[in-house]
Amino acid sequence: MNQTDKNNLKVSNAVFEAIKDSNIDFIVSVPCVNLKNLIIMIENEIETNLNQNNPKVDFEEQRNKLIHIPITREEEGIGICAGAHLSGRKTALLMQNSGLGNSINAIGSLLKVYKIPLVMIISHRGDLKEKIAAQIPMGQWTKKLLEVAEIPYYCPETPEEAEKVIKYATEMSETMKYPVAVLLDALYWEND
Interface residue list for ligand L7H2UBRR (CB under 6 A): 32-33, 96, 98, 132
Query: In whole angstroms, how close is the CB of 58 to ligand L7H2UBRR at the nearest point?
Result: 37
Which amino acid, 62? Q
For the purposes of burial, counting CB atoms within 10 Å of the CB of 130, is it exposed (0-12), middle (13-18) or buried (19 or more)? middle
Pick between residue 142 and residue 173 the one whose CB is nearest to ligand L7H2UBRR.
142
Query: In whole angstroms, how close is the CB of 147 to ligand L7H2UBRR at the nearest point?
Result: 23
Distances (CA, A) of 36 to 9, 11, 86, 145: 10, 12, 28, 25
Query: In whole angstroms, how close is the CB of 150 to ligand L7H2UBRR at the nearest point?
Result: 26
Pick between residue 96 and residue 191 the one whose CB is nearest to ligand L7H2UBRR.
96
Query: In whole angstroms, how close is the CB of 134 to ligand L7H2UBRR at the nearest point?
Result: 8
Pick between residue 131 and residue 144 the one whose CB is nearest to ligand L7H2UBRR.
131
Pick between residue 25 and residue 185 the one whose CB is nearest to ligand L7H2UBRR.
185
Helix 3-21 × helix 36-50 angle, to 10°: 50
Distance between CA atoms of residues 22 and 40, nearest Å: 19
CA-closest candidate to residue 100, choices 153, 51, 61: 153
